[in-house]
């Protein structure tokens, strides 16, 4: 049986999910696994293989600042593939979204790493391991360019009766954004980018709350926050403070419906962080197709709260997204 090391421990970097033929212990690992192939699990199954019925993978990139919010993702959910991109301009209260859904959108052989090319319709993500470029051409034209660094964390997590679930997060990435819409150009840049690369076998019924925040402490340190409750064994809770990374305990989310109209109160059980999130607006989706349901609300907005760091409580302000998600897949 897999053991789970201390949730505050960052384990050494590994090349793959397995070592000496055994799945690594569930936990938090330094950096990104160099090999995220899942083919050794994907062929299980009699008529329908696990590749189509259980394995999910996605690459999401979000960038958040006081002037511009934007996100883009490409998702291989096995039987279905989806992609979306959106942006929000607070000064104009302008929200625009484009998306696509395709059955069997990726081939059986699609077994991607973060640094592979991802393409679905007019949505494209390409990386060489150092630089990443995301683009979409449709309702609006968007180009996002970012640089990877060595501050990312890999989370290898339990998944009920399924083999495992994996996610990689990295925040505070130097990012440059250019968006063109109806003859206007919107730009933003700075340490405002965040990566969510996930791949594995989440439970058939998956429910979570999530927060991804980028901001600054009162003493000028950049801060990135990734918190999740109800998913991945509460392992993927981490905070980036300048060049430091902290793992936290369980995250707690308190909010009433409608999720995009009410303040979210979020903290960690160990008291490291406590903040309020006030939505400006939200993305939402109610997808109900063969073999897959996805119901989520993802508000974007502003966060303010307190972080306990080096024995002191410091305030911080930030921008980002929160999410309430129910999936059957």
CATH class of 10-328: mainly beta
Which pLDDT tens digit goes with each residue over 141-168? Answer: 999 999 999 999 999 999 999 999 999 9
Q: What pTM was estimated for this model as a whole? A: 0.96
Nearest 5°: the CA angle 98, 325, 132 is: 50
Q: In this predicted structure, what is the pLDDT of residue 212?
A: 98
Which pLDDT tens digit goes with each residue over 41-82? Answer: 999 987 789 999 999 999 999 999 999 999 999 999 999 999
Which pLDDT tens digit goes with each residue over 257-316? Answer: 999 999 999 999 999 999 999 999 999 988 787 667 889 999 999 999 999 999 999 999
Which pLDDT tens digit goes with each residue over 280-292? Answer: 999 998 878 766 7
Phi, psi values for residue 24, rounded to 5°: -60, 155
Q: In this predicted structure, what is the pLDDT of residue 47?
A: 78
For the chain, give every domain's residue range.
10-328
Report the DSSP pairing between strands 264-268 and 273-289: antiparallel
Which pLDDT tens digit goes with each residue over 236-261? Answer: 999 999 999 999 999 999 999 999 99
């Amino acid at each position: 049986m897999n053991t789970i090391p201390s949730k505050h421990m960052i384990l050494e970097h590994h090349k793959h999910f397995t070592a000496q033929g055994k799945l690594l212990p569930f936990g938090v690992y330094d950096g990104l696994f160099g090999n995220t192939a899942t083919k050794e699990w994907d062929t299980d199954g009699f008529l329908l293989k696990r590749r189509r019925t259980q394995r999910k993978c996605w690459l999401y990139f979000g960038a958040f600042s006081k002037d511009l919010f934007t996100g883009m993702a490409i998702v291989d959910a096995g039987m279905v593939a989806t992609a979306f991109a959106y942006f929000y301009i607070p000064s104009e209260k302008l929200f625009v979204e484009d998306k696509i859904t395709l059955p069997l959108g990726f081939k059986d052989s699609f077994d991607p790493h973060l640094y592979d090319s991802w393409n679905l319709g007019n949505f494209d993500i390409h990386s060489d391991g150092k630089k990443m470029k995301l683009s979409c051409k449709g309702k609006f034209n968007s180009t996002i360019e970012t640089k990877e660094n060595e501050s990312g964390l890999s989370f290898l997590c339990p998944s009920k009766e399924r083999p495992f679930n994996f996610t990689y997060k990295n925040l505070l990435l130097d990012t440059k954004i250019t968006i063109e819409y109806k003859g206007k150009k919107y730009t933003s840049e700075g340490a405002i980018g965040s990566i969510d690369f996930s791949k594995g076998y989440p439970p058939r019924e998956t429910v979570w709350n999530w927060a991804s925040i980028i901001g600054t402490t009162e003493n000028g340190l950049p801060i990135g926050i990734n918190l999740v409750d109800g998913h991945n064994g509460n392992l993927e809770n981490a905070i980036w403070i300048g060049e430091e990374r902290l793992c936290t305990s369980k995250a707690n989310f308190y909010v009433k419906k409608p999720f995009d109209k009410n303040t979210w109160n979020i903290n960690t059980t160990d008291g490291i962080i406590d903040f309020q999130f006030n939505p400006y607006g939200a993305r939402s989706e109610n997808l109900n197709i063969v073999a897959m349901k996805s119901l989520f609300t993802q508000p974007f907005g502003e966060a303010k709260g307190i972080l306990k760091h080096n024995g002191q409580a410091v305030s911080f302000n930030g921008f980002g997204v929160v999410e309430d998600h129910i999936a059957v897949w």
